[in-house]
Amino acid sequence: MLHPIFEEASNVIKEEYPNANQVVFARVDCDQHSDIAQRYRISKYPTLKLFRNGMMMKREYRGQRSVKALADYIRQQKSDPIQELHDLAEISTLDRSKRNIIGYFEQKDSDHYRVFERVASILHDDCAFFAAFGAVSKPERYSGDSIIYKPPGHSAPDMVYLGSMTNFDGTYNWIQDKCVPLVREITFENGEELTEEGLPFLILFHMKEDTESLEIFQNEVARQLISEKGTINFLHADCDKFRHPLLHIQKTPADCPVIAIDSFRHMYVFGDFKDVLVPGKLKQFVSDLHSGKLHREFHHGPDPTDTAPGQEVQDVASSPPESSFQKLAPSEYRYTLLRDRDEL
């Protein structure tokens, strides 16, 4: 069903970008080329992935399946991701709720700026990119071209990239670390994308205006759980928008802030939010998920090691709430889902 739409969109874009290598539309028969499908972890049909500078972008195209929507998406991707600053006074007007990356360059036609452009083309969904050149940038180039990261808010200090500006990998890794936060916000728009990463969720539910609880959670995740990055997704969610998952664990927005784990099978609630400040408490909660202890205790009561000497161990039958965020995963009404990788 998508194929004729995809082909027509490619013809529309070819007229606007006639140079052969500006935009390439391609399709893969995953039955015939199962090695390619496995390499890019294709788990549903159709899957639309974007590649830039030889790198696969993390975000798939999940928008409307129409010629106009596909063409508009490509036009957006082809727009310049970097906004030029014509006066350094413009920096004071930046949206400080966003993560801002500013490059100061002697000239636009330089290796330094070309690397900066490549990085911005990949990470522009995660950060706002700005650049100043020549006389405008001179006050900030006292030791040569530079890249500055301005974190959200007005209290955190700026950070300066100290690596080689002609080294793409070094520049990309540094900027990615700044642009992609350790604790990300989950919304209904990115929920499908996050569930597809296949990692359990550690979620802070908080009221939108409660930035203090979010800051505490972010600090404790960074302090206690940095080694768990890659085994669990650290997220925060708006209590008002995600009332249903809260009800699932017998909570309401009035109970927020609330911390919970969604393993995609069950949901488990952390104790009192204040306990997040107890050294090692949050780390133990996540460790208990990995070891299976959370699951066992929900079904059979406390582990024998957690009972007092001489205390009789009772098998308490219970069942934790089922996963709520699993419902945000790709729908069989929109995709042909591959239940098993072997289907490839």
- Tell me, yes or no, whether 166 lies in a domain: yes
- CA separation for the pair 169, 174 (Å, rounded): 9
Task: Read off the CATH number of the domain in which 42 is found.
Answer: 3.40.30.10
Q: What is the pLDDT of residue 344?
A: 38
Residue 199 located in a structural domain: yes
Task: Tell me: do 321 and 232 sit in the same domain.
Answer: yes
Q: Where are the beta strands (DSSP E) in 181-328?
A: 183-185, 201-206, 233-238, 258-262, 267-269
Quick: pLDDT tens for 305-338. Answer: 554 555 554 444 446 677 767 666 676 667 777 7
Give the CA angle between residues 293, 201, 280 to the nearest 5°: 55
Give the distance between the most distant pair of CA atoms in the chain. 80
Per-residue pLDDT at 233: 92
Evaluated on CA atoms 241, 178, 199, 217, the torsion sign reads negative
Q: What predicted TM-score, i.e. pTM, was given to this entire model? A: 0.70
Task: Indicate if 52 and 173 belong to the same structural domain.
Answer: no
Residue 342 forms part of a structural domain: no
In the chain, which stretches have pLDDT less than 70?
298-320, 324, 326-329, 331-333, 339-344
pLDDT at 342: 43
Amino acid at 119: V
Inside any domain, residue 344: no
Are 283 and 143 part of one and the same domain? no
The pLDDT of residue 256:
95
Q: Name the domain count of the chain.
A: 3
Parent domain of 154 = 82-179
Round to whole Å and give the CA distance between 45 and 30: 9
C-alpha dihedral (47, 52, 58, 63), degrees to nearest 10:
-50
